[in-house]
Structure 1
C-alpha cells in the first residue's frame, strides 16, 4: 500500500491529463457510433446480442459484435465446440462477477464492457508510467496519443480481451523494470491465460532480466519467471480433459475462414499472397477495400518498426514486439493483425520517436489521418462490418 501511495503521488498532474485523454477518446467513440447509426446500413450476421437487442440498445450491444459474442457466451455458458480458440481469463472474470451479482443477459454485456473500460484505463496509466522511466514527457504524451488514435483502438472499449491483456503486459514490464519480479511474473502468468501471444512474455522478461537489467545468473529471482507459462498450461490441461487435445486452440484456427491455416505459414509467403493474390482481386466494395489496405499497411508498418526497434528498444521489449507481430501472421493471413498489434506497446514508442522528429504541421496531418481512419473503422465495427 505504501508503494502504491508513493506511485500515485508522483506525476499526479500528468496522470490526470492521461486520464482526461482517455475520457476524450471515449467520447469520440460515442460520437462515431452516433454518426454510424445514421449513415451506415446495418449488417446483421455478427451482432453480439442479436437484432432485437441491438436495435433497442445500440450504445451497449454495438460493442459486443463479432468475437464479443463468443466471449459473452463463454462467460454465461462455459466453453462449447468451436470456442476453444478464445482464451479463458477475460470470460472467466466476467462470468465469476456476473454470477456473484446474479446478472441477466444485459448485465453480462454491461459488466464485460465495464471490465474492458476499467482495465484499459489501468493499461494507459501503466503505459504512461512504463515509458516515462526512460523517455521525455513530450514523447511519452505523443506515444499515448498514438495508442488512442490508432485506427483499431476502439477494440479497447469493446467486449474483447485487448484492454485486459494490454494492462497485464504494460504492468508486467513496469514491475520488471523496477525489479519487482514476483509481480511481473504473476501478471505475465495471467497474460498467458488471456492471449496466445502472452507466451512471448516468457522470453521477453528473461531477456529483460539478464541483458537489459544486468542481473546475474546466480540470483534466484529469475526462477520465478519460469512460472509464466502456467496460465497457458492450465488452459491446455483443461482442453485435454474437455476435448482430448491440449492444442485445440491452435487446431481450430481454420474455422475463421479459408484465409487462415492451422499449419504455419512464413511471413514472406503472407506478403506474397497480399501483393499478388489479395490486392489484384479486390472489388469496389469499400469496406473490404478499407479493411484490406489497413491490414497491409499495419503489416508493413510493424515489419519496419521491428527493424527500427533494434537500436531504440530494450532487447526484452524488442522480443515482445517481434514475437507479438510474427505469431498472428503464422496463420497465413494479416486478417485481424490491425487488432493484434494493439497490445504491442513498444510500437507506439517507436512511432512516437519517428513522429517526434517531424515538423509540427506534418504531425498534425498524421493525427488527422489517424483520427479519420479511427472514425471509419469504429463505424464499420459498430454496424456489423468485419474489420479485424
Structure 2
C-alpha cells in the first residue's frame, strides 16, 4: 500500500466529509453556542469554520491569545504549532484556522503513511488496507480533519512506535516527547516502549545499544515535564491540567472513578434517563457507550491473544499496553464522554479489528463498513452544525 494509494483514500475521505457538511447545511438547524469562529464567521465560511467547533474553539483561542484560566487541560504542542504556521501567513484570525486545519490534514496524511508502514512490519497488505478503511470510516474520523489534536497525536505515536521497531531509539523518544506534550495519553508511550525495548534484550547486537535505548525511552516524558514546569511557573500548580477538568461540568470528576463504576452509571443511570425524544443526545450517548464497549472488547481480545487463548487474534505486547492504558485513562474521570474521539488514536484497536474482520466473510466486513459509513455521516453532520459529539 503505497503513498499514492493512501493519498487516494485520504482525498475520498475528505471529499465525503465535505458532502456531509453541505447536506447538513441544508437539512440540520444550527446550534449557535459552541461555534469555533463565532456565528458571523461560521455563516460567512461554514466550510472552514465548521471544523473548529467545541474544543477547537479553545485550541484556537490558545493559539491566538495564549493560555487563560481553565484552559490548561489543553496541551500546548498543537496550538503552538498552529501559531507558528499562522505567523508565516499573516497572523490574522482567519490565518489561525487555516493553519490549524492545514496542520491537522498534513499530520493525518503523514500518520496514515506511518501506520501502514508499522502494520506491514507484522501483517500482510490486506490487514493494512482494512485498518486504514476502519480508521477513515470510524464515526468520529472527521476529527482528523478538524481543529483538534487527534491527527497530530496519531502521527507522533505511530512514528514513535515505528522508529522503536526499527531500533532508532532517539527518534522514537523525540517523537514520544512531543506526543507527551500534545496529549496526556502520550505518557503511555513510556511503558509501551519500555516493553518494546525489553523484548529485544536477547539480541546480542541490540544489547550493545542498550544505553541508547534507555536514553531514547526516557526522553518520552520530558514533553510532559516541560509543560508541568510551565504550569508550575505560571499557576503554581504543575498538575493544573488535571484540575482544569472542571470546565466540563458534572460529567467529569476530579477524583478517580474505576471503569466498572462508569459502565454501571451508563447502564443503570444515564441510558435509561436520557431524553429519547431528542435524537442528538440519544445518538451521542449511545455512541459513547458502544464505543467504550467495542474498545473494551478489543482490549480483552488483545489480552486473550497475549495469553494464547486466541490463536489468530494476536498483537505485540507494547501495542497492547498502549491500547489498554490509552483506553482506561480517559475513563478515570467517570465518563465515556469524548470516548468516541479519544479512541481514534488507539491504533492497535483498529489493527485488532482489522485482523478479526478479515477472518470473517467479506459480506460481514462490507456490512460493518456500511454501518460505520452511516454513523460517520450522521456524526459529521451533527458536529458541523454545532451539536456535541465527543
Write the distance in 1 (CA, Å) between the matches of 2:365 and 2:89: 47
**Aligned residue number for residue 3 of structure 1:** none
Note the residue ranges of structure 2 that are not aligned, 5 or more in a row.
306-313
Distance 1:214 1:25 in 2: 43
Distance 2:11 2:85 in 1: 25
Residue-by-residue CA offset, 1:221-254 (whole Å, 9 max, x unaligned): 2221112111000000110111110000001112
- Is the CA contact 2:258–2:334 (under 8 Å) kept in the aligned structure 1? yes
Q: Which residue of 1 aligns with 2:297?
A: 304
Structure 2 residue matching 1:261: 3-state secondary structure: coil
Whether 1:234 and 2:236 are equivalent positions in the alignment is no
SS in 2 for 1:20: helix
The CA deviation at 1:153 is 0.3
Is the 2:89–2:95 Cα contact (8 Å) retained in structure 1?
no
Matched, 1:334 2:336: yes
SS in 2 for 1:81: coil
Superposition deviation, residue 217 in structure 1: 6.5
Equivalent residues in 2 for 1:1-388 (5 A)?
A: 14-211=2-199, 214=202, 219-224=210-215, 225-283=217-275, 284-310=277-303, 311=305, 312-388=314-390
Give secondary structure in 2 for the equivalent of 1:305. Answer: helix
Cα shift readout 1:120-171 (whole Å, capped 9, x = no counterpart): 0000111001001110111110011001000000000000000000000000
Q: Distance in 2 between matches of 1:138 and 1:76?
A: 43
Question: Which string of whole-angstrom CA distances, capped at 9 and with x for unpartnered residues, describes residues 284-310 of structure 1?
Answer: 211110111111111011111111112
Cα separation, 1, equivalents of 2:282 and 2:55: 21
TM-score, scaled relative to structure 1: 0.95
Q: CA contact under 8 A between 2:201 and 2:207: conserved in structure 1? A: no
Contact 1:177 1:213 in 2 (8 A): no
Gaps spanning 5+ residues in structure 1: where?
Answer: 1-10
Question: Which range moved further: 254-263 or 144-153?
Answer: 254-263
Distance 1:382 1:300 in 2: 26
Tell me if the contact between 1:211 and 1:315 (Cα under 8 Å) persists in the aligned partners: no
Residue 43 of structure 1 aligns to a residue whose secondary structure is coil
- How many residues get paired? 376
Distance 1:213 1:172 in 2: 19
